[in-house]
Amino acid sequence: APSGCPCVAGERLCSTEEAAAGSGTYTRHGFIFSSLAGCLERKNEDTELPVVSVVRDSESQLLPNVGAVVTCKVCSINSRFAKVHILYVGSTPLKSTFRGTIRREDIRATEKDKVEVYKSFRPSDIVLAKVISLGDAQSNYLLSTAENELGVVVARSEAGVQMVPISWCEMQCPRTHTKEFRKVARVQPQFLQT
């Protein structure tokens, strides 16, 4: 089968004389079989035989699409936006890093002109957001947290303790009882990435 072909688990791919077994495959009776459903990849490495491997479909082409709910980590903030790294699309972890931006006007649905980025997110916060437009050349996705379900799901206090949400705009450190402002997500249980 040529490279890029879909294959199912248990499918016979080729003989061990033609290729070496890579990830996602196993050998039996002189043949290489697929151990998972995915796309066949044949790579000519420095070995005498090409290496045959199978990559899961979801991993090979999973990209954040417009409308997808993503879990991301805040890297930096300024007065206009927060820069984030996208870690999950839905509940599937991404293999490569995608960058995203949450602009000040996309943080909340109401009173957009009163929003302050540093009162909504802090670096290293874990945030649930929705993709509102696809990236430019730098693969920078525009994200929004304007819905109630979206926003900060995990934040650590200055003391390094995971904080507890006490309202839609505040979290509290259980150790020091200090309150910090955040755009808090009203999390639905299926999105909790603990």
Give 105-123 as a DSSP string.
Answer: GGS-SS-GGG--GGGT--T
Give pLDDT, residue 180: 95
Residue 174's Cβ-side half-sphere holds a number of Cα atoms within 13 Å equal to 6
Identity (one letter) of the amino acid at 67? Answer: G
Give pLDDT, residue 193: 47
Q: Would you say the pTM of this structure is higher than 0.75?
A: no
Does residue 91 share a domain with residue 51? no
Does residue 146 share a domain with residue 84? yes
Q: How many domains does the chain have?
A: 2
Do the domain assignments include residue 176? no
- Where in the sequence is the domain holding 110, given as residue range(s)? 68-150
Does residue 133 share a domain with residue 72? yes
Do the domain assignments include residue 180? no
Do the domain assignments include residue 182? no
Which letter does DSSP use for residue 136 in this model?
A: -
Do the domain assignments include residue 160? no
Does residue 41 share a domain with residue 11? yes
Do the domain assignments include residue 187? no
Indicate which CATH number applies to the domain containing 38: 2.40.50.100
Give pLDDT, residue 147: 92
Give pLDDT, residue 51: 92
Q: Block means of pLDDT (10 residues each) for the chain, length 194 residues?
A: 74 93 91 87 82 74 80 96 92 82 94 91 96 72 94 92 92 94 76 45
Give pLDDT, residue 58: 56
